[in-house]
Amino acid sequence: MCSDCGFVAYENPKIIVGSVVVSDNRVLMCRRAIEPRRGFWTLPAGYMELGETPEEGAVREALEEAEANIVIDGILGVFSIARIAQVQLIYRARFADPVARRFAPGPESLDVRLFHWDDIPWSDIAFPSVRWALDAWRRVGNDALGHPAGNPDHDHRGIHPLATGANSDPLGEQK
C-alpha cells in the first residue's frame, strides 16, 4: 500500500485451467514447444483469461494447444501451487466428436498424442501437477466425478520446487 496516496497493489495467484481429455481410455497430451520445460509432455492447459469461465478457458486451451474441440465432463482436480502463486483447475473432458477425434499440434506444441496409461512418457512429464491430474484421472476413470482431487498429502501446498540435475527426477522429487 502506498503511504502517500493509499493505492493498494494486489498481487493475486494466477488461475490455470486445463483438462484431461479422454478417448477410448487414452489421454490427450501435448509436447511443449515453449519454455518452461520445452520438449516435455503436459496436458492442454494454460492461464485463464479475463471474461471467460474456467470451463471456457479449458476448452480454449485444448483448441489452442491441441486443435481439439472438447466437451467438459466436470471438475477433476483443484491444485494449489503456492510457491509459484498458481491455482490449477483441471477438468475431465472428451472430444466433441468422439468418432473423428481430431487433434494436431498448435503453436505452443511440438507434438500431440493419445496415450494409454502404460505408454505415458512418465520420465518426460513437464510438471508435478500433470502427474497429480493424471493420477486423479486414473482413480476416477470414466466413473461419476465426485469431490475433486487436491494436492498429494506429501505436497499439500505445492511448495516443492521442480528439481533439476542428476539427483532429481522429472516430477520434482529428490532422489
Q: What is the DSSP string of 98-126?
A: TTT------TTEEEEEEE-GGGS-GGGBS
In a domain? residue 171: no
Q: What are phi and psi of 84, to 5 degrees?
A: -120, 15
Look at 160 and 87; give whichever has higher pLDDT: 87
Domain membership of residue 135 as a residue range: 14-155
Specify if 169 maps to a domain: no
Any domain includes 172: no
**Distance between start and end Cα atoms, the chain:** 42
pLDDT, greater one: 81 or 144: 81
Does 160 reside within a domain? no
Which CATH number goes with the domain that contains 143?
3.90.79.10
Please report whether residue 163 resides in a domain.
no
- DSSP assignment letter at 34: S
Give the per-residue pLDDT at 158.
79
> Based on C-alpha coordinates, what's the Rg of the chain?
17
Residue with the larger pLDDT of the pair 155 and 106: 106
Q: Strand 45-47 to strand 26-32: parallel, antiparallel, or no bridges (unpaired)?
A: unpaired
Q: In this structure, is residue 139 part of a structural domain?
A: yes
| Lookup: cell for 75 | 471438475
**pLDDT tens-digit series, residues 107-150:** 999 999 999 999 999 999 999 999 999 999 999 988 888 888 88
Measure the CA–CA gap between 63 and 16, rounded to whole angstroms.
15
Q: Which three cell numbers stand for residue 95?
A: 472430444
pLDDT digits (tens, 9 = 90+) for 155-167: 877 766 555 544 4
| 150 within a domain of the structure (yes/no) | yes
| Number of domains the chain contains | 1
Answer for the pair 112, 105: CB distance below 8 angstroms, yes or no: yes
Q: Would 8 be classed as within a structural domain?
A: no
